[in-house]
Amino acid sequence: MSYQNILVAVDDSPISYAAVEHALSLAKLSGAKVTVLSVVAVDPYVGVDFYQVAPAITEHFMQAEAHAKTQLQDIAQSFTRDGIQVTTKIHHGPASEGIIFVAEEVGADLIIMGSHGRTGVKRLLLGSVARAVLTESHIPVLIVKQ
């Protein structure tokens, strides 16, 4: 199978950069274009009114978005250097939902993402974005593990 449009989801973790390397290799082999996505999570349990009255929280999200933009620009340069067509996207909301939404939005035929490999209580408490994407996505998902 040859991929035409790869979505690679990134965060600040080292495993995320390993996922980028896999996407870079696959894109070179298949000639695929790549979309690099960063999701800026918004706490679904807190109402919008809270953010309007809490400047510190608003500032936190503005900084998170600025950091995501910088990170995406740096990653995009890796693809551009190798002549791979790349776009970047930031999505706001829950991570797994954002990854699936953007994958469908851009017409991705493969999602590549890292998995932190949490087990036991940590996985129960924190959930697993990779697991949720695997379960919910109709698009093939390549999970890069540490």
Q: What is the mean pLDDT of residues 5-9?
A: 97
Task: Record the pTM.
Answer: 0.84
**At residue 22, what is the residue type?**
H
Number of structural domains in the chain: 1
Domain CATH number, residue 85:
3.40.50.620
* pLDDT band per the 50, 70, 90 thresholds, residue 53: low
| DSSP state at residue 140 | -
Say what the pLDDT of residue 124 is: 46
Q: What range does the domain containing 116 cover?
A: 3-142
HEC sequence for 60-73: HHHHHHHHHHHHHH
